[in-house]
Structures are given as structure tokens and as C-alpha cells.
């Protein structure tokens, strides 16, 4: 009791001095983070107000100031508003935005749902559990570019692994076209879920393992069946972890998919077709290939804003379970 108030009297500076060695250690990281994060963010924000195009690129931050012009253009393109409907310089953004939404929802359902099932299976006692746990981690060590390349081969209509399995098991009669047409978005979702599964599985497994077993024993004594135990013990107790996973899922869904899409479709062209074009690939392509750098910055800032709205909704939804932790 006597010590606590004394400690509080130390000023911030004194506390820093007291832990000076620790601060010395993290100083390079802080400087590096400022250089690689903060400065580019500020530059990007400023760039979105400038008319940076092919002809003005060498001027960079000295390019003509155009204010919110690109923001209005992107808003028009996404929401189809404005005097002449959409600006045709910025094409396909509405389509990419809706694809991204579907992609985010499905990848989240996939990684969270399958991840939870896998975690519960891996939590059971069985003979090869150690090996199974290691194998589940395998997709995680595969770089996303490689994942895209591998799935390009898996989805091939002729001779691809997916169609071989489906035909072999007589699930389908004719090979499915995965890489072109409406199936391409699901081809992308499945590849992303495959790559994302290990992370969610491990997180859920860790969460399940810390649940005290006597809770389950008590519930069993009270006559609760397996589903009831899952519904009333496991689910509520892993909710904080699930909430964090949803946040990661949202961010990955909005910003992710680029590496896999670029390699799986297009061999580098970055265009997955109208059915599977996501926002980040679309913005990247239009920024770099069409040399609309100011527009690209504005579109990225808007994407960040959209994501913040979703993160806000997320926070409101899961606020209580996060506090409970």
C-alpha cells in the first residue's frame, strides 16, 4: 500500500530514465517505424490531393494541387453518383467493391468456421495428434505468391487437381471451369481460406485449451449434451479470440487477395476478370498501369475509411466480449 502511491509520483521522464535500457533497445524500431510508416502515410494523404500523373510524376510532391477532385471521382465511381454518372477513367470500382465484400464474407466464414472445427478436432486426444497439428500449419509457411501459383495449377480445367478429384469421385460429369467466369471468385476464396486456416486454427486451439475442464465435467454431470457444452461453454469463452479473428479477417479481406489473385489469374497482369477483381488489385492496376497516382492515393484513403467504418461496427458488436477478457 505504501509503495504504490510512491511509484505513481514518478514523472513520465523519470520512468523512461528508470527503464532507459529498454527504451534504448526499442529506439531503432521506433525510428524505423516512423520512417517506413508515418512518413509514407502523410505523403500518401498529401499525394491524394495532387494531380500526379505520368507527365507530372517527376514533380512528385510539387505537382499541381487539385484538392478533393480525385475523392469526388472515386466516390462517383463507387456509388454511381455525380453529374454524368461515373467517370470512365476509373472503371470497375463498384464491381470490385462488391466482389471484395463477398470475398471478405466468404473468406471469414471459411477461415473461422473451418478453423474452429479443426481446432476442436485437434484438441481431442488421438494417436497422431502431434503430426496432425504440424500438418495443419503447413499452408502458413507457403508464401502467398506461391499459393497463387499452386492454385493456378490446381484449378486448371484440363488436368487440374480439383477437377481430377471431382471427376474421379463422380461428383461432377464435366470439368468445372474455375479460372474464368463466375467460379473464379470462389476459386480465389478457397485459395485464401486454405492459406488463412492455420492461423485461425492455432488461435482457436490456444483459446480452447485454456478453458478449464471442470466446467465441462460439471456440465456433463448436469446432463448437458455435446452441443449444449459447445454452445454454452466453448463458444462464450472463445468469443474474445473469435472477435480478434474477425478483425484480422476484415482487414485481410479488404486489403488481401492481391498476391494470390495476381499469380492465380493473369500470371502477373493483375486482372482476375470482372467476377474476381478485388479492390486492392483494381486500385493498384489503375494507379500504376494508367499512371493515375493522385487518384490511386485518394482511392486508397477511401478504402482505408471504408475499412475503418467496418472496424467501428466490429468494435460496437464485440465491445462487451472484449472487455470481459
Give the shortest CB-200-to-other proteins separation in angstroms. 30
**Cα–Cα nearest to 188, from 117, 273, 118:** 273
Binding mask 134-153 for other proteins (x = CB under 8 A): ------------------x-
Question: Does 268 participate in binding other proteins (rule CB under 8 A)?
Answer: yes
Give the shortest CB-71-to-other proteins separation in angstroms. 18
Which of 40, 82, 212, 267: binder of other proteins (CB under 8 A)?
267
First to last CA, the chain: 26
User: Are residues 206 and 199 in contact, defined by beta-carbon separation less than 8 angstroms?
Assistant: no
Which of 17, 37, 89, 129: binder of other proteins (CB under 8 A)?
89
Contact region with other proteins (CB under 8 A), list: 4-12, 54-62, 112-120, 297-305: 54-62
Instruction: Give the separation between CA 282 and CA 272, rounded to whole angstroms.
Output: 9
Q: Which is nearer to other proteins, 274 or 304 (by Cβ)? A: 274
**Cα–Cα nearest to 144, from 188, 112, 201, 84:** 188
Sign of CA dihedral 222, 226, 231, 236: positive
Contact region with other proteins (CB under 8 A), list: 65-73, 128-136, 242-250, 283-291: 283-291
Contact region with other proteins (CB under 8 A), list: 42-50, 75-83, 129-137, 176-184: 176-184
Q: What is the DSSP letter of 266?
A: G
Which of 45, 66, 91, 233: binder of other proteins (CB under 8 A)?
91
Which of 8, 11, 58, 125: binder of other proteins (CB under 8 A)?
58
Residues 180-239 binding other proteins (CB under 8 A) are: 180-182
Contact region with other proteins (CB under 8 A), list: 9-17, 32-40, 178-186, 210-218: 178-186
Question: Does 39 participate in binding other proteins (rule CB under 8 A)?
Answer: no
Instruction: Give the separation between CA 72 and CA 135, rounded to whole angstroms.
Output: 49
Our measurement of the distance from residue 209's CA atom to the centroid of its chain's CA atoms, rounded to an integer in Å, reads 25
Contact region with other proteins (CB under 8 A), list: 83-91, 106-114, 127-135, 244-252: 83-91
Concatenating the DSSP letter of every residue in 193-251 gives HHHHHHHHHHHHHHHHHTS-HHHHHHHHHTT--HHHHIIIIIHHHHHHHHHHHHHHHHH
Q: Which is nearer to other proteins, 89 or 319 (by Cβ)? A: 89
Q: Which is nearer to other proteins, 70 or 275 (by Cβ)? A: 275
Burial, 225: exposed, middle or buried (Cβ in 10 Å; 0-12, 13-18, 19+)? exposed
Our measurement of the distance from residue 318's CA atom to the centroid of its chain's CA atoms, rounded to an integer in Å, reads 18
Task: Say how many residues touch other proteins, by CB under 8 A.
Answer: 37
Our measurement of the distance from residue 93's CA atom to the centroid of its chain's CA atoms, rounded to an integer in Å, reads 19
- Contact residues toward other proteins (CB under 8 A) are 21, 54-55, 57-58, 60, 87-89, 91-92, 152, 156-158, 175, 177-182, 265-269, 271, 273-275, 285-286, 288-291
Amino acid at each position: 500500500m505504501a509503495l504504490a502511491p510512491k511509484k505513481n509520483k514518478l514523472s513520465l521522464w523519470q520512468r523512461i530514465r528508470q527503464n532507459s535500457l529498454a527504451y534504448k533497445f526499442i529506439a531503432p524500431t521506433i525510428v524505423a517505424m516512423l520512417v517506413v510508416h508515418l512518413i509514407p502515410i502523410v505523403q500518401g494523404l498529401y499525394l491524394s490531393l495532387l494531380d500526379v500523373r505520368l507527365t507530372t510524376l517527376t514533380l512528385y510532391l510539387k505537382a499541381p494541387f487539385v484538392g478533393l477532385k480525385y475523392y469526388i471521382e472515386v466516390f462517383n465511381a463507387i456509388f454511381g453518383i455525380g453529374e454524368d454518372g461515373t467517370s470512365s477513367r476509373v472503371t470497375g470500382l463498384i464491381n470490385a467493391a462488391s466482389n471484395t465484400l463477398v470475398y471478405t464474407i466468404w473468406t471469414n466464414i471459411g477461415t473461422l468456421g473451418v478453423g474452429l472445427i479443426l481446432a476442436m478436432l485437434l484438441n481431442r486426444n488421438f494417436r497422431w495428434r502431434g503430426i496432425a497439428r504440424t500438418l495443419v500449419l503447413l499452408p502458413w509457411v507457403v508464401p502467398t505468391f506461391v499459393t497463387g501459383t499452386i492454385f493456378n495449377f490446381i484449378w486448371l480445367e484440363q488436368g487440374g487437381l480439383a477437377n481430377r478429384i471431382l471427376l474421379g469421385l463422380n461428383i461432377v460429369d464435366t470439368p468445372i471451369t474455375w479460372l474464368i467466369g463466375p467460379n473464379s471468385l470462389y476459386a480465389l476464396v478457397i485459395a485464401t481460406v486454405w492459406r488463412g486456416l492455420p492461423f485461425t486454427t492455432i488461435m482457436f486451439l490456444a483459446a480452447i485449451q485454456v478453458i478449464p475442464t471442470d466446467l465441462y465435467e460439471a456440465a456433463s454431470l448436469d446432463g448437458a449434451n455435446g452441443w449444449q457444452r459447445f454452445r454454452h461453454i466453448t463458444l462464450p469463452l472463445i468469443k474474445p479470440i473469435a472477435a480478434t479473428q474477425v478483425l484480422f479477417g476484415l482487414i485481410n479481406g479488404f486489403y488481401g487477395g492481391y498476391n494470390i489473385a495476381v499469380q492465380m489469374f493473369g500470371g502477373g497482369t493483375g486482372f482476375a476478370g470482372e467476377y474476381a477483381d478485388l479492390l486492392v488489385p483494381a486500385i493498384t492496376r489503375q494507379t500504376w498501369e494508367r499512371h493515375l497516382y493522385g487518384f490511386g492515393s485518394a482511392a486508397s484513403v477511401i478504402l482505408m475509411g471504408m475499412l475503418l467504418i467496418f472496424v467501428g461496427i466490429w468494435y460496437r458488436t464485440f465491445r462487451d466480449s472484449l472487455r470481459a477478457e
